[in-house]
A and B are shown apart, each in its own frame.
Chain A
């Protein structure tokens, strides 16, 4: 037993092998054959795994001569040592394999090596046979690709051909194309013209109030930015000032009239109607006309004849009689109205001013206002009248000859029918001046006109703010405007935010005295839940 392996392995030169190999080698040749028959890939792998030291090819090569002789003997050790040898011998021996399983395995191995597996056949056939519609399409596209390209250019080519063929016709074609739209459009245009023109002419010419009411709506729709103002401030101003006047006018005389200062009209008709013109300061109405034409409608109600004058595009001059008899008593002639008109209605120029003067003279003769006798004279107008117009004139009043008038507060009437004063111009001027100076104009002066404008703006501002506050209070179910309302308002105006509280703003802008009052505010702010918190204060100051 031991002698065989020793003699076989000795030439390999590995002393360790003989003990291991011995058990297998001890088998007879038949056993070796059986082992060979067992050589499935698993078996060979197993052997390989069991080999502790794969013999390096060098040693073999060195000993190649003698073992090659042995190879004829086909010792299992030689087979097992190198895979290549095993494979060769395995393949050689498979033919010899006895068991059916071994044969089957050998066959399969050979089949795999040959690539004869049925799957392979399938693959091969599949590759050839795979023709999906996509492939056909591809093939088609390849075939057609060169053809299709020319197809694209063909349409332009066709056009070009057309153009080439019909140079004159093209012109004709263009002509008809243009004509088609013309055909449709001109008809529409004609219709439009007919539609558009009559309304304008009708609005101007007709004295119908309905038409003018239409104008009211139109203004609201067309001018949205103005709209907001008109609702809040401008409109209300208009309402407050003119309505009462209108009523009084109806009672007293038709003094209040919107007079078209068309040159044509002046001579003929106006004298009767225009009685009120010169004396009153109707700048507001003028302004209104400029912004929206609501005033037209209202004024026109009173006097249609005047409206007809509009066609000539003349400027409007509205005469607003003093509201109250008491005010009327105070009335005094004023040069100011003209100046105001100029200021406020910068767009409308000289003709307006001149016209009223002329009108005044005429009116003096024709129409004597019971109350307004003094008015006809070009002298400074009463404080009240000026008040009626807009908030502007306190400075004027101060300058005005009569102090008593100045003492009187000019009251305007809000849309709720409540009289209210305007902020004293002195205060406004002081504020505006200081702010203007802080703005970088150290020398900034505020002229009277500017002050008037600022006063007007502040009136509008207060009106707007009041409306907003009222809306907030109403929404909260309160009848009283609360601190929470103004706080909300300032937040919505983006005046206050997380970092800027109303109180901090107040510290910046308000004097201490007022701050002291404000200090009362924060606690009340905390009490927002409190709903009916009525503190009615009578105007003390």
Chain B
């Protein structure tokens, strides 16, 4: 039973990271119907920025964190401006390929700048554990869970209570109609990319104490975030986080209770099952057919 709870907590912590990456997918997908295959690589790059500010320049953890988020938000806007905006409106295949290309580029550039070693960021939560009876929970895992809850609450408030958030929802519904209603769609999309890159950076920085940061981490985790996004229904923000947590827990349990090898495959088997049985995911709306 104790093992089960330990696995559950570490699964939820890992799942929160998947959920945060999936959240980035969903934000961009909802706004522009672009699936950003470079989302994991944005996370990786965010982690490296934070490592540079905190580990190399020796800034305070929180200042370094904020600086990394700001840098990555700017980079997200730049990527949107250079790569995605010119091809908005073209078939989805082209856009997927463009973001795959972007991911390749970011990964290689990170490898060239920071090398291919593993890096670790010292955080205020790196040491110390919370003991409840005989249950031992590490602070770094709890910090991921807490941060995910805070981020989700902030995003929820942003999308439902602010004018900009409403504009984003409108342009995700129908870009052309939103444009006719006077919403500056291009700027809105740009901001969506900035938010998505910022969320990815949070995921990267929170992940750093659990898994090390290296140039390929984005590819590995980014691909695991797809099952999370699909499980939650690709267009649903709460769905992304719930899906991420479920995938994290499933992976963690499979690693503990099933023979070796199942851990890496389990998320994808779940994904295929979801696609077969309930393609709209847990929180998605059924797709309508229009001619």
Are A and B part of the same complex?
no
Binding site for B on A (CB under 8 A): none
Binding site for A on B (CB under 8 A): none
